[in-house]
Structure 1
Amino acid sequence: MPAPIHLLSLATADAPHEMTQSDVVEVARVLFTERFPGFDRMLPVFDTAGIRARQAAMPLDWYLKPRGWPERTEAYLDVAVDMFARAAEAALAEAQLKGADVDVIVTVSSTGIATPGLEARAMARLGFRPDAARIPVFGLGCAGGATGLALASKLAQATPGAVVLLVVVELCTLSFRMEDLTKADIVATALFGDGAAACVMRCGEGGFASIEATGEHTWPDTLSIMGWRVDPTGFGVIFDRAIPPFARDNLRPAMIGILKRQTLGLDDVDRFICHPGGMKVIDALEGSLSLDQGSLDHERGVLADHGNMSAPTALYVLDRARRGGLPDRSVLTALGPGFTLSTVSLRAAA
């Protein structure tokens, strides 16, 4: 039987600029009322989003001017590299390791383009070895925290003793735009924040949890539910309004199938740790998994304090859950472009 993969540490790094939801509402009102017919009818989405504050890559006034690919990319590279480094430094410090101890670096990010990748740009600051394997991953979207954790664990399993560092960085707010607005862009403005998270893992002992199993389920003919559209000014968000009802109707059978392949059932899971895509999504998850209303409390807390940061958000929730004390078995879940459910089953350290 393969040795278990242990999560030695988990750390988060907030974006540098705080935005309250009330400030965002006032700016959005000024910017969008004349540019988007019927904007007033969409204002309630800012109130019902369940968000008090978010952190952003750039100060609020940066978003008040039209921006193209070069400016958005410059901001992404500058801020994302720093957030990558801060999250990685904190995770390595908790694991009592240094950059030179890392054998494999998995970088997950879908909100900007960096070639060389973020990990290459942060190598000198973090002291990574020249022979460290670099694995940048693009395109996972909101599922990136769970799928990245699954991928990193498989790499650790394949190389017993290797120290694997996972870093997830998303700067969703850089997609905010004033031109060519869609309803999805307005919803994104009400929901998105920026953040980063990192964790260290390896075969053996120690840490706060071990990874028991991973699983995915991709539904056919669902490419249009979530993703990016690419246009001359940058990434534009694709959000289907049917995401909450789709999750309510389809998540449960997919989850049952994933757990069955792990010889588990829903009743074997003590706590689901979910990516909080929005308040309606959280409600749909509770309904689909037959959880008591309000069970996903850490999810609501992270959403309120940080917004939807895409991939790192599930790891923010995991961090809150582990600080509160993980139950024996929990399952980290996230929904992302594809449309895909990604899961990681965790056992708490004895």
Structure 2
Amino acid sequence: MTAILERPVRARVPVAIPAMSRMVAVGTAVTGTSVSQPELLELLGIENPKVRSVYLNSAIANRSLTLPEPDADGVRRPEPQGDLLAKHKRLAVEMGGQALQNCLKNIGASLADLRHLCCVTSTGFLTPGLSALIIKDLGIDPHCSRSDIVGMGCNAGLNALNVVAGWSAAHPGELGVVLCAEACSAAYALDGTMRTAVVNSLFGDGAAALALVSDGPGVAAGSGPRILKFASFLITDAIDAMRYDWDSDLDRFSFFLDPQIPYVVGANAETVVDRLLAGTGLRRSDIAHWLVHSGGKKVIDAVVVNLGLSRHDVRHTVGVLRDHGNVSSGSFLFSYERLVREGVAAPGDYGILMTMGPGSTIETALVQW
């Protein structure tokens, strides 16, 4: 019998990808009052069984919110749009400044070390932008360069990361920060409808900051994962599925989330992840750490099913949703902070960051420790 010679199996070697910059520190902050879903139902006087079920089946335990004070009758009335914008400005500056300082403290840096500040927010409109307000409020060097990303929604943290990673690569050794500050309770419409319930049962207030430094000649950026690559996907057929637009009946801006959005996001998750990994020599099974936006229970479940992830893969995503709700653009950084504290990432590990938002859009980034 002729022996069959087996060809030796060669281990796959990922393609070397030049790093743009390194994620060297993260910090978060919340403001307002931490309330449970049952407490919130009572505070808002919601009795409709269908609306109550939305809150109670959300996989959210607590959220930080700044609600309007009750009137003489003990009822919390909807706030005029002008009051909501003022609330957004106050909370975004307060939370954002705290998250920024918490982030810098983790690497022993000070505000004087900051060279670029990119601020992200979608829960209110500010001119001058949040970056200018925070620079003034904290006494940061007015020569600090800055950028603002406004209105891109929950996916915008990764859009900002792309911007600052590019800035960082062009300025080796200099400190840049992505700052997401979302005062979601400054965008609430308290009207008791099912449309509003989907939003009001989900979002919480929170801010998160991520510091970036790029390696360069004579410059070592230190520890933290290197940012290797980005990939985006705009699902144009679902461009109106998530939006923040003017509600003439309420005379204010109002969020809208299509009930089908979890399935839309899930069905397209593979497309953008496959594009992200194309040309790298990596497969999904090579990814040790997944930091997915805490968009909601159904969104997380849809991503898990379509990408073949385990519940362990999304443990921090689920934990952030449980403890803070959806804090919009900064959600994935809340998860990253938990991963850092967990201390399980090993040198050479690969990770994928994924955010989803209006457009409908999926943003991803590939990193390596």
TM-score relative to the length of structure 2: 0.86
Measure the CA separation in 1 of the matches of 2:166 and 2:325. Answer: 30
C-alpha separation in 1, matches of 2:141 and 2:181 = 21
Q: Deviations over 1:96-153 (max 9, x none)?
A: 2222221111000010111112221222443322211110111221112222222211
1:8 to 18, 21, 24: 24
Question: Does the Cα contact within 8 Å between 1:213 and 1:262 map onto a contact in 2?
Answer: no
Distance 1:147 1:261, change over 3 A: farther
| CA distance in 1 between partners of 2:297 and 2:247 (Å) | 29
Q: CA deviation at 1:304?
A: 0.7
Counterpart AA for 1:167:
L
In the other structure, the counterpart of 1:84 is 96
- Letter of the aligned partner of 1:57 in structure 2? T
- Structure-1 separation of matches of 2:127 and 2:303: 36
**Which residue of the partner structure matches residue 363 of structure 2?**
342
**Which shifted more, 221-230 or 262-271?**
262-271
Aligned to 2:352: 331
| 2:134 counterpart of 1:122 | yes
Between the aligned residues of both structures, percent identity stands at 27
| Residue 12 (structure 2) aligns with | none
2:58/2:297 contact within 8 Å kept: yes
Distance 1:45 1:168 in 2: 27
1:47 and 2:56 correspond: yes
Alpha-carbon spacing, 1:257–1:231, altered in 2? closer, same or farther (3 Å):
same
Note the 1:21-36 alignment, pairs <5 A. 21-28=37-44, 30-31=45-46, 33=47
The one of 146, 171, 174 equivalent to 1:162 is: 174
Paired position in structure 2 for 1:194: 205
Question: Retained in 2: the 8 A contact 1:299–1:317?
Answer: yes
Checking the alignment, whether the CA contact within 8 Å between 1:106 and 1:135 is kept in structure 2 is yes
Change (3 A) 1:61 1:266: farther
State the superposition RMSD in angstroms.
2.0
Cα distance in 1 between the residues matched to 2:324 and 2:31: 10
Which SS does the other structure have where 1:45 is aligned? helix
Q: Does 1:284 align with 2:302?
A: yes
The aligned counterpart of 1:148 is: 160
The structure with the largest helix share of the pair is 1
Is the 8 Å Cα contact of residues 290 and 313 (structure 2) preserved in structure 1?
no
Shift of 1:263: 4.6
Alignment check: 8 A CA contact 1:283 1:293 kept: no
Give the 3 Å change call, closer, same or farther, for CA 294–206 of structure 1 in structure 2: closer
Larger Rg: 2
**Which amino acid in the other structure matches residue 18 of structure 1?**
S
Listed one character per residue, the Cα deviations across residues 152-201 of structure 1 (whole Å, up to 9, x for unaligned) are 1111112223311111000112222234x653311111111010000111
Is 1:209 matched with 2:225?
yes
| Displacement over 6 Å in runs of 4+ | none
Aligned mates of 1:231, 1:41 — CA distance in 2: 23
Q: Structure 2 residue aligned with 1:243, among 261, 268, 273?
A: 261
2:115 matched to which residue of 1? 103
Larger deviation, residues 57-66 vs 233-242: 57-66
Do the aligned partners of residues 52 and 61 (structure 1) sit closer, same or farther apart at CA in structure 2, a change above 3 Å counting? farther
- 1:262 CA drift (Å): 4.4
Amino acid at match of 1:190: S
* C-alpha contact (below 8 Å) 1:100/1:127 kept by paired residues: no
Deviation track 1:199-230 (CA, whole Å, cap 9, x = no partner) reads 11111221322212122111222211112012
Structure 1's 261 and 219: CA in aligned 2 closer, same or farther, altered over 3 A?
A: farther
Decide whether aligned partners of structure 1 residues 173 and 261 sit closer, same or farther in structure 2, where only a CA change above 3 A counts.
Answer: farther
Q: Which residue of structure 2 aligns with residue 228 of structure 1?
A: 244
Q: How many residues align?
A: 340
SS of the residue corresponding to residue 311 of structure 1 reads: helix
State the alpha-carbon separation in 1 of the partners of residues 323 and 84 from structure 2.
Answer: 24
Deviation at 1:258, TM superposition (A): 2.3
Gaps of 5+ in 2: 1-16, 216-220
TM-score scaled by structure 1? 0.91
Residue 104 of structure 2 aligns to a residue in which SS?
helix
C-alpha contact (below 8 Å) 2:276/2:365 kept by paired residues: no
Amino acid at match of 1:45: V
**1:230-285 deviations in Å (ceiling 9; x for gaps):** 23643211101111222232211221122215453312211211001111111111
Hey, what's the Cα distance between the residues in 2 that align with 1:282 and 1:272? 12
Structure 2 CA distance, aligned partners of 1:286 and 1:197? 24
Amino acid at match of 2:125: I
